[in-house]
Amino acid sequence: MRTKHITILALTLCVLLIVLWKWEGILWSLTSFFATIILAIVYPGDAQALFSVSLVEYWIAAIVLVIVCWFLMSNSVRIIRGVSGERKWSVSTMILLSLIIIAAAGPIVSPVPPNVQGNLVSTRLLPPFSLGSVEIVESSREGISGAGWLDGIRVRANSFLLNRQIRMSGIQQDGSPLKTSNEPSPMVFLFGSDDAGRDVLSRMIAGARVSLAIGGIVAVGSVVIATLIGFLAGYSNSFVDSVLMRLTDLFLAIPSLFLVVGVIAFLGQSLTILIVILALTGWMSVARTIRTEVRKLREKEFVHAARMLNLPSHKILIKHLLPNLKPILLTALLLQFGNAMLAEAALSFLGLGVQPPTASWGNLLGQSVSYLRTGWWLAVFPGLMLSCVLVSIHQKFESSGGHA
């Protein structure tokens, strides 16, 4: 049996153990999802009251775990039967997919919500694998009147999920008080705790969702901008090409980090501003590459034939040029994803990126600076995760031939 097959079987076993361990959360998440959809159809006037961003995160987590479990089990069965396909899964690909799956399933697989604190006297700066306790906060949200037994199921499901998500504020989203358990719940801090008594593993999982989401959105945004500018520069006349390339040179002449810091200092610290400014400062090199390829492709016979048929430029781009640019675009997406994650980590480390209490790998590293001697785990684990992602991306880039 190949090493790849053994790895897939091991991943399948790990996912099955997670599903069995968190079966109650998965069950209530799926119950809440389907009950909410039915109630939104039957009682459309209550749709807004049925919706909650926190619940949507649980729905996504449960669906991702079910799909991944089914996919891995089907592949494991084929491997055991000896009929597995020839699909190649490199180590870097499996690392990236595993981190993305953990991030998406974070609300269910994380031991506690990322901002839940324990008793500072007993849980502050606990080393890895230490035993501690956290206080469980329970919700007493009422259901929507008139929806009957189905709404009762939804309320029970939502209450189970919200009890994990409620922060230690003592107040729900609707303003009603919370019931607090008198007895703290014991737990093992696998990756230790931080200076506020919060579980580092839970905050790393939550930080993975933020960092990976920022990297993905910025990568897509910058590649879309680069594709439009590169296509216009490579496909249009020399005047448009010259103007766009001089604009690209102007952006390249300004150090992107200084530009990002200046804009954030002027407009203020915001996650939206961070994503937009990173996307607007990461397209230049990709645009130059796409422009060069478009200039080569526009001399091909199939492009001349499309022009003779008087096809609009946007149709030529979509139907003829984009399929030929696919390898370059995918490689550019991969590299921009890594660059965006590294830029977010650097800005958050400097205090200009994602702001606490929201966790990201960058601000987790930034908060660990003051505790490098007494709390080494605060820097080591987020740093290892960030390094794994960046190394996996560059390994994937090298295995693809380094097109961009």
- State pLDDT tens for residues 348-364: 888 888 888 889 999 99
Give percent of the chain above pLDDT 90.
Answer: 26
Separation between Cα atoms, residue 339 and residue 109, nearest integer Å: 28
pLDDT at 226 over 60: yes
Inform me whether the pLDDT recorded for 151 exceeds 60. Answer: no
The arithmetic mean of pLDDT across residues 247-267, rounded, is 85
Query: For 25-29, 131-135, 287-291, 365-369, which range has the lowest pLDDT when averaged over its residues?
Result: 131-135
**Which SS3 state, helix, strand or coil, does residue 164 take?**
helix
Whole-number pLDDT of residue 158: 61
- Between CA 121 and CA 101 the distance in angstroms is 35
Q: Is the pLDDT of residue 278 over 50?
A: yes
Q: Kindly give, in sequence order, each residue whose CB lies less than 8 Å from that of residue 142, ignoring residues fewer than 6 positions away.
A: 155
Helix (H) or strand (E) holding 131: strand 130-134
> Within 13 Å and on the Cβ side, how many CA atoms surround 57?
19
Give the rounded percent of residues in the chain with a pLDDT score beyond 70. Answer: 82
Domain ranges of the chain: 3-112+139-175, 212-399
Question: What is the mean pLDDT of the segment spanning 5-17?
Answer: 83
Domain 212-399 fold: MetI-like fold (1.10.3720)
What mean pLDDT is predicted for residues 382-388? 92
SS3 state at 97: helix
Apex CA 107: angle with CA 105 and CA 113, to 5°? Answer: 150
Spatial separation of the C-alpha atoms in residues 379 and 361, rounded to whole Å: 9
Decide if pLDDT at 396 tops 90.
no
70 burial type by CB count under 10 A (0-12 exposed, 13-18 middle, 19+ buried): exposed
What's the Cα-to-Cα distance from 27 to each of 149, 168, 294, 319, rounded to whole Å?
Answer: 18, 25, 50, 44
pLDDT value of residue 264: 84
Selected residue with higher pLDDT from 156 and 36: 36
Determine the average pLDDT of the residues in 286-312. Answer: 86
Confidence of residue 182 (pLDDT cuts 50, 70, 90): very low
What's the chain's average pLDDT? Answer: 81
Amino acid of residue 327: P
Q: What is the DSSP letter of 312?
A: -
The crossing angle, in degrees rounded to 10, of helices 200-235 and 91-104 is 110
